[in-house]
Amino acid sequence: MKQLNEQAIEDIAMGAAVLGTGGGGDPFIGKMMALEAVKKYGPVSVVTVDELEDQAQVVPVCMIGAPTVMAEKIPSMEQVTAAIECLEQEKGQAVDAVMPIEIGGVNSLIPIVAAAKKGIPVLDADAMGRAFPESQMVTFHLEGYLPGSVTLADEKGNVTLLRPIDGAWSERLARAITVEMGGSASMCDYWLSGADVKRAVIPGTLHTVEKIGRIIREAHGKMENPVRNILRELQGYELFTGKVVHIERSIDGGFTRGKAAIEGTDRDRSKVMNLYFQNEHLLAEEDGKLRAVPPDLIAVLDEETGYPVTTENIRYGARVTVVAFPAHLKWRTEVGLETAGPRYFGYDCDYIPVEKLCKGGKAE
């Protein structure tokens, strides 16, 4: 099993902010927490899906709530592990490994914090292949698994145990409790065996974001722009380049919702792109025409450095490049589009793969 060093954590934080599509929380917070945890408790081992034993007990651990709140209310290591330990008491056994529920922002790093404190490995996989705003939007749900017992913990020491009937109710109840907990909480659900995890997750995503982070770091060292190499690695598309001229952002129902307007520069001069987000970037349109819709991934990168820009950090005047990547095939199925397609989020359009939109394609 590979062990994560400080450089790997730095690279994971950077790369996760790209696949996080602007959400999943500020990766800087997660990076600092993970570095402190490794410094205090020792290095963390990474187990691949192929190395995971079928009888192993695995649970995702993450933060739920509005990223803008988490930036001001940074969780403690004790808060992160409190949700796990409550679930261990419920199950009557210890967990063997933790994993990211999503591979975005702070939630890629939170399992590393938990793994370091508990002395267990972290699984190189997640249940989204990106970040999504709602807790039922996971590949466990797509494969027919229920969340089982769900635990939440806050910074005050409150811990809650739920037994929701399905993923939709888990999201509904957990979101309401998160609001009462101050807008941000640690969360565990989908405690599964290694055999079940292997069937449901998207493997290798920690390795992927570490590689993306390394591409950005090495390009920065050479004074180069990493965007082309990122697009090549993720088979992505450059959608738009311009300056942010308007930003709307509010906290609504436990989410950060809003819209950013970008005025085009260079080859996009005289055009305007609107980005709509609910924690994560969800839909991009250019002069009223769709350029990318969920579940495909949209990321905003600094035009000069290629550094990813999260939804809570988009600022007026920022010069950015908007890129998009195809979602994992699990999300392009009927159940995947019902769960996280454009109509689920209230957009009056059908799903069109980003590769078709970039070639002027129409809905299938």
Catalogue all structural domains in the chain, each as residue range(s) with its CATH number.
3-205 (3.40.1610.10), 224-358 (2.40.390.10)
State yes or no: pLDDT of 361 exceeds 50: no
State yes or no: pLDDT of 17 exceeds 70: yes
**CA neighbor of 311 nearest in space, from 326, 328, 296, 298:** 298
- Mean pLDDT score, 201-223: 94
| Residue 155 contacts residue 93 (beta carbons within 8 Å) | no
State yes or no: pLDDT of 362 exceeds 50: no
Dihedral-angle region of residue 227 (phi above 0 means left; psi in -120 to 50 means alpha; beta otherwise): alpha
Kindly give, in sequence order, each residue whose CB lies less than 8 Å from that of residue 224, ignoring residues fewer than 6 positions away: none
Q: Which amino acid is at 20?
A: G
Read off the pTM.
Answer: 0.90
- Mean pLDDT score, 206-214: 96
Would you state the structure tokens that stand for residue 285, as one six-digit string? 């349109």
Q: What is the pLDDT of residue 128?
A: 95
- Mean pLDDT score, 266-281: 94
Q: What is the pLDDT of residue 364?
A: 39
**CA neighbor of 238 nearest in space, from 207, 266, 280:** 266
- Mean pLDDT score, 333-362: 90
- Mean pLDDT score, 8-31: 88
**CA atoms of 205 and 285, how far apart (whole Å):** 28
Give per-residue pLDDT as tens, 60-116. 999 998 777 777 788 889 999 999 999 999 999 999 999 999 998 889 999 999 999
Mean pLDDT (the chain) is 93
Q: What is the pLDDT of residue 360?
A: 60
Q: What is the pLDDT of residue 148?
A: 97
Confidence of residue 363 (pLDDT cuts 50, 70, 90): very low
Within a 13 Å sphere around the CA of 215, how many CA atoms are in the beta-carbon half? 22
State yes or no: pLDDT of 1 exceeds 80: no
